[in-house]
Amino acid sequence: MPSQRLLIKNGTVAYSNNIQKMDIFILDDKISKMGRDLSEEADKIIDATDKLVLPGGVDSHCHIEQKSASGLINSDTFHSATSAAALGGNTTVIPFAAQYAGDSLIEVVNNYHGLANRGSIVDYSMHMIIAGPSDDVITIELPKLILEGHSSIKIFMTYDRLKIDDTNILKILNQARISGAMVSVHAENHEMITNKVKELIEGGFDSPKYHTDSHPVEGEVDAFRRIIKMSDETKQPVMIFHVSSEQGLKEIEAGKKRGVKFFAETCTQYLTLNSHLLDQEKINDGAKWICSPPIRSPSDSKALWIGLEDNTLDLVTSDHAPYSFDSNGKFFKGDNPNFKEIPNGMPGLQWRLPILLDKVINKNCDLDILDFVRITSTMPAKVYGLYPSKGEIKIGSDADITIWDTKLNITLSDNMVVDGSKYNPYSGMNICCWPNEVILRGNTIVKDNLIKSKPGSGKFLSTKLSEYI
């Protein structure tokens, strides 16, 4: 994308733990000056009067054009997913290159670059999923890729095709420490889930509403306890993905109080949705909200908000994992699948930021605008080695900026969807805000809810283990 001289005037800007009305001058893709009444010559001037000017969102947990454990490819392409991301105020995403047993990790990563390079309209890094932890993968391929700028690894403690045992988890943690990488973890006890699934299905309790029961909270607690101990033992920091329960949150809190250095996130769905949605009159409608871990009770959601407010939880992501609501997605096993046969995941890239910002503006939580910026932009960028280029409005950073209209009355609906799922799990929710303009490296990629950028205009962000964590 060609750079330009851009001047944003009169916006209410959140920056460096401050929020005030000011101007921003952008030169050569970077933020060059900030202050009141700037008069620099510009090719374009944006009047942000009465608008909220925030850093572009960094969604560090999203599944895009990825082969899942069920064998399905997510219903998105990089173009459709990153279009959804941009419309929702994001300028950076971190999706997953998924390696399975027998695959070359290097080949998987190279192939994933090809998909992203062709389609992404926002900047991207990537996590490397390791499900086939052979000696060559861990000791040869992984260090090479980390050295080349792929500094994030993901591992699973559940799913038949993805889970790895504790011995291999420790090997990966040790290699990450030696080579300089972050490790993120899907932490649930596989055996507890497997046993509960068998018990429920054999008992005839197989509709979507029983999905929540199949992932017992105790399994989350047990896995959290184990991975925190392994993190402490190896002195390798980890990110615990998608904390879903109050009990799991307590385990996170206890680990941090002991002085273990690790991080934890939750997701939009765990803060705003609950398991009653799975119990629909049309029994398979509940499939829309099947994800892993499952959405749980209102009391769990309340506890997670408190976890964000007291910094027990570090950030909020979407865990965007879209499957179309048809035979190519949620119902690929037929019209009447049991809950185990329904792919786990729901779309979220387009909805994360507007939903969370609405909660902040309307004071439905004890977070303020600066907290919002921290948990949706700054901390994801810091944890995954993107800061200070990404995640904050400051001189010298990439000019990734979202200008928000915060005086709207919008009802979320399926008609707004641009990702491949074609449904909105938050349909019917009323919000007060939506991005008016989204700027990536000084160039407008969204204006008035229209995409202004071409597929492949986003760029790969080479990373190393962050010095800011």
Ramachandran angles phi, psi of 139, nearest 5°: -95, -20
Residue 281's pLDDT is what?
74
Ramachandran angles phi, psi of 22, nearest 5°: -165, 175
Biggest alpha carbon distance in the chain?
72
Indicate whether 95 belongs to any domain.
yes
Exposure letters 255-268 (e unless 16+ CB within 10 A, then b): bbeeebebbbbbbb
Distance CA 139, CA 130 (A): 13
Residue 342 has which token pair?
Answer: 């329904």
Distance CA 85, CA 76 (A): 12
| Residue-wise pLDDT tens digits, 239-275 | 999 999 999 999 999 999 999 999 999 999 999 999 9
Indicate whether 422 belongs to any domain.
no
Could you tell me the CA-to-CA distances from 62 to 131, 170, 452 in Å, in that order? 18, 25, 22
Indicate whether 431 belongs to any domain.
no
Distance CA 146, CA 246 (A): 35
| Residue-wise pLDDT tens digits, 315-332 | 999 999 999 999 999 999
Distance CA 400, CA 402 (A): 7
Is residue 456 left, alpha or beta, with left meaning phi > 0 and alpha meaning psi from -120 to 50?
left
Residue 171 has which token pair?
Answer: 């090997």
| Residue-wise pLDDT tens digits, 23-39 | 999 999 999 999 999 99
What CATH number should be reported for the domain holding residue 76? 3.20.20.140
Angle, to 10 degrees, between the axis of helix 217-234 and the axis of helix 246-257? 20
Residue 72's pLDDT is what?
82
Indicate whether 173 belongs to any domain.
yes
User: What percentage of the chain has pLDDT greater than the value 70?
Assistant: 99
Angle (CA) 118-420-288 rounded to 5° is 150
Indicate whether 158 belongs to any domain.
yes
Ramachandran angles phi, psi of 417, nearest 5°: -70, 135
pLDDT for residue 339 is more than 60: yes
Indicate whether 394 belongs to any domain.
no
DSSP annotation string for 314-352: -EEE--B----SSTTTTTTT-SS--GGGSPP-B--TTTH
Collapse the DSSP code of 2 into the 3-class scheme (helix H, G, I; strand E, B; otherwise coil) and give the result.
coil
Give the pLDDT band of residue 2 (cuts 50, 70, 90).
Answer: low
| Residue-wise pLDDT tens digits, 382-399 | 999 999 999 999 999 999
Residue 167 has which token pair?
Answer: 């011995």
The 10 Å Cβ neighbour count of residue 449 is: 13
Indicate whether 125 belongs to any domain.
yes
| Residue-wise pLDDT tens digits, 11-22 | 999 998 999 999
Indicate whether 195 belongs to any domain.
yes
Q: Range of 284's domain?
A: 57-374
> Which residue type does 4 have?
Q
| Residue-wise pLDDT tens digits, 184-218 | 999 999 999 999 999 999 999 999 999 999 999 99
* pTM score over 0.85: yes
Give the pLDDT band of residue 67 (cuts 50, 70, 90).
Answer: confident
Residue 71's pLDDT is what?
75
pLDDT for residue 284 is more than 90: no
Domain count, the chain: 1
Can you list the alpha helix ranges (DSSP code H) found in 236-282? 246-257, 268-272
Average confidence score pLDDT of the chain: 96
Name the nearest CA neighbour of 263 among 125, 380, 154. Answer: 380
Residue 68's pLDDT is what?
76
237 preceded by a cis bond (ω within 30 of 0): no
What residues contact residue 140 under an 8 Å CB cut-off, 6+ apart? none
Residue 169's pLDDT is what?
98
